[in-house]
Structure 1
Amino acid sequence: MYGEREIEAGSLICFPNPNINRDYEISIDFPEFTCKCPFSGYPDFATLKIKYQPNTKVIELKAIKLYLNSFREKKISHEEVTNKIIDDFVEVSDPKWMQLEADFNPRGNVHTIIRVCHGKRKNLDLIL
């Protein structure tokens, strides 16, 4: 299937920040993240919320989608996968600041939310 081939071949790629002289923030929601519990093998589902202030590079959206879908069959804990994702994003894009929130669906009556950060967030005084 072509989707599986795209996921296997995918890698995180960036393009030059088109507004290097402006501080701004990018927010990306990924509502269908899936990985597998390393202990039971059952699937874990989460909504990922990525926010970052780019430096010289911006991560390409399709590359993010393919990268995140590559975890679908991996046995990895909530804590490990959240930290791995932000580490990989930081390595490829070197943002000024980045935050990742992984909000996992409850399983066994336990709801887990993991938040990790990189760098220092610049207050942009955004009114939203």
Structure 2
Amino acid sequence: MHDSQTPSTGTPSAESSSMKYGEREIQEGQLITFPNPRPGRRYEIRVTLPEFTCKCPFSGYPDFATIHLLYVPDETVVELKALKLYVNGYRDRYISHEESANQILDDFVAACDPLEVTLRADFLPRGNVHTEIEIRHVKDGQGT
């Protein structure tokens, strides 16, 4: 081997250390919907997102949760890959348990306008404290 040659170190080059395609998709992610295939029929859609992460706004420590979403669609249904990318966008945000759950619900309602939706954020215990946030939204005129 000549001095001008360097063995492969397995370290990524500057070119490959730029933003990865998944990071780009997460950064650009937004909730999108498609037409409900059965408008007028009441049915429930349950979605579980078991890998939610965000950061504590006080300590910076990571928080981990499972997000449970149960909704009755009206005119539109949320696209699942878009929902996944949207939720993954929280991983580097400094945000409380309460605010993250409420913001996800607000954004979901704004995008999808369901008849009813319940969101439950079940956070893993940290420091001997287990937190669950549950929020319900009912579309005006749909009762409780």
C-alpha displacement at 1:21, in angstroms? Answer: 2.3
Asked whether 1:63 is paired with 2:82, we answer yes
For residue 98 of structure 2, what is the aligned residue in structure 1? Answer: 79
Equivalent pairs counted in the alignment come to 123
- After TM superposition, the score normalised by the length of structure 1 is 0.93
In 1: Cα distance, 2:40 partner to 2:120 partner = 27
C-alpha displacement at 1:10, in angstroms? Answer: 1.2
* Structure 1: runs of 5+ lacking an equivalent: 123-128
Asked whether 1:96 is paired with 2:115, we answer yes
Which of the two has higher C-alpha Rg? 2
Asked whether 1:29 is paired with 2:19, we answer no
Asked whether 1:11 is paired with 2:12, we answer no
For residue 131 of structure 2, what is the aligned residue in structure 1? Answer: 112
* Structure 2: runs of 5+ lacking an equivalent: 1-19
Q: Which has the higher contact order (CA 8 A, sep 6+)?
A: 1
User: Structure 1: which 4+ aligned runs deviate by more than 4 Å?
Assistant: none
Paired-residue identity, %: 60
Give per-residue Cα distances to partners, 1:9-43, cap 9 Å, x unaligned: 11100000000021100000000000000000000
In 2: Cα distance, 1:10 partner to 1:86 partner = 16
RMSD between aligned residues: 1.5
Give per-residue Cα distances to partners, 1:47-102, cap 9 Å, x unaligned: 01000000000000000000000000000000000000000000011100000000
In 1: Cα distance, 2:90 partner to 2:29 partner = 12
Q: Give the AA of the match of 2:26.
A: I
In 1: Cα distance, 2:33 partner to 2:42 partner = 18
- After TM superposition, the score normalised by the length of structure 2 is 0.83
Give the 3-state SS of the residue equivalent to 2:109 in structure 1. helix
Structure number with higher strand proportion: 1
